[in-house]
Amino acid sequence: MALLGAQLVITLIMVSIIQKLGNYSFARWLLCSQGLYRYLYPDNSELKSLAGVPKEKPKAKKGGKNELNGKPETFHVPRSLDIQLETAPVTALDLVHLRFYTDYIWIVDFSLYSSIVYIMSEIYTWIFHLKDEFNLSMVWCLLVVLFSFKILLSLTKQYFTSDESISERSICIVAFCVFLLVAMMVLIVDESNLEVGVDPAYDSFYENASKFLENQGLSSVGPASKLILKLSLAIWAALIGTLFTFPGLRVARMNWDSIRVYGDNKVAALLLNVNFAMPFILALMWVRPVTRHYLTVRVFSGMTEPLMTSAQFDSMRLILVIITMVLRVILMPRQLQAYLDMAQRKLDAQKKEAGRITNIELQKKIASVFYYLCVVALQYLCPVVMCANLALMYKTLGGFTWTGMDLDPVVRTMPSDSMEQFQMAWENLKMIFTTEVYRGVLGFSTWWCCFAWFISTSLGAMYQSYFRIS
């Protein structure tokens, strides 16, 4: 218990709160209490009335069955049919039947609970400055990252299991190859240009792991080579880039539609543009000559010192990641409503086409928009949730502060008890996985997620600008 201490108490309190709040959901509130409305497809009688299709009475058979044998009635209507869809507010009863609804509820609510645990842990450690306690909030953050990864993997898997997703499958394969090439190029960039910290992390890990093996009397040539490590990181980075591809394209489409709807509102348009540009700004924060050099090294005319210290720059970088996540959640209802409006836009685009369409196809075209609402919400939130929780782990395990001040707190030592063996094992792990190791692994992971998010949304913006017709 000495290694956990108050962290275990905080976790148990949050688990109890989760059990008490089982009927309340922040994720459900985001979709049902923010004024979202969906579009209702016209029924067969309305379509027949608009298209002038005569209504036929079904011929009754023995046993009361009609000639359709329970199959839906099918008829053709002109594509140019003038239809104005009715709307209805999104309710909780509408959501339970949607695809990935449980995944959406779980990841959003669990992310909220994890954030609360992290805040409580940060407040506690800021007051008492404990040294040897294991920070259980890191486990919560890691679980959020793993859950987000699992959900994105499940969404991408749909393109490889469906026979109708040949083009999407090809895009995923091409994206993996491109991101793999980019990741290998990034990993050979010098630390003086891109400060992801992979090389210092490997040097620290290699030295300490070798000493640990020697102290245990084990003969070993040391850990894996730097080439193997960077190749593994490149494969992981390519997989992340692939998982972010279609969410980025989707967010670019929603941002494009949102700006067209809210373009007259200058404040909303500004927030939407800032929200879209934040991944690019975050990716630049790790490029040393562009950001750190100008803010922490260069002294501008009329000043006697740089704008901020190196510690303040590190804190600002972390705070910007959190601001990005908060801003994305705030703008989520506007973005999702822009997606739901796609049902009417599809009909408006269809009016320009010649020919006829069956009533079943037309109704499916409208209903499918709302059917994938939770999928779109996951594509919108999971990448930024992953980035934010990696940044929280980067801050805590990397030894950074939120205030940008290098503090030397009075440390309270842990008493000796019957768990000396666990204490010794914990100290050995801390000797191998040092702050430099965490800064390298989590720094690269955080930056790459922001960079991949920026690349995918940029490609989506280019497609919306130059290739999409309607």
> Given this model, what pLDDT does residue 136 score?
85
> Given this model, what pLDDT does residue 4 score?
56
Residue type, 251: V
Please state at what angle helix 6-20 crosses helix 101-128, rounded to 10 degrees: 150
Domain limits of the chain?
4-18+26-48+78-162+174-401+421-467
Half-sphere exposure of 116 (CA within 13 A, CB side): 14
For 233, phi then psi, to 5°, come to: -65, -35
* Torsion sign across C-alpha atoms 295, 297, 298, 303: positive
Sequence-separated (6 or more) residues with CB below 8 Å from residue 153 = 243
> Given this model, what pLDDT does residue 9 score?
79
Length of the chain: 470
SS3 270: helix
* DSSP one-letter string for 85-148: -EEEE--HHHHTTSTTHHHHHHHHHHHHHHHHHHHHHHHHHHHH-BSS---THHHHHHHHHHHH
Contact 234, 445 (CB under 8 A): no
Tokens of 171: 């895009």
Residue 361: closest CA among 28, 74, 1, 161:
74
**Tokens 């100290």, located at residue:** 427
> Using only C-alpha atoms, what is the Rg of the chain?
27
* Torsion sign across C-alpha atoms 217, 220, 221, 223: negative
> Given this model, what pLDDT does residue 102 score?
93
Residue type, 88: A
CA distance 104 to 376: 10
Residue 470, Cα to own-chain centre: how many angstroms?
A: 27
Residue type, 371: Y
Mean pLDDT by 10 residues, the chain (470 residues): 64 82 85 91 84 64 49 81 88 91 94 92 81 79 95 92 83 94 92 87 81 67 74 94 94 90 85 92 91 86 85 92 93 93 88 84 90 94 94 91 63 44 59 84 94 93 72
> Given this model, what pLDDT does residue 127 score?
82
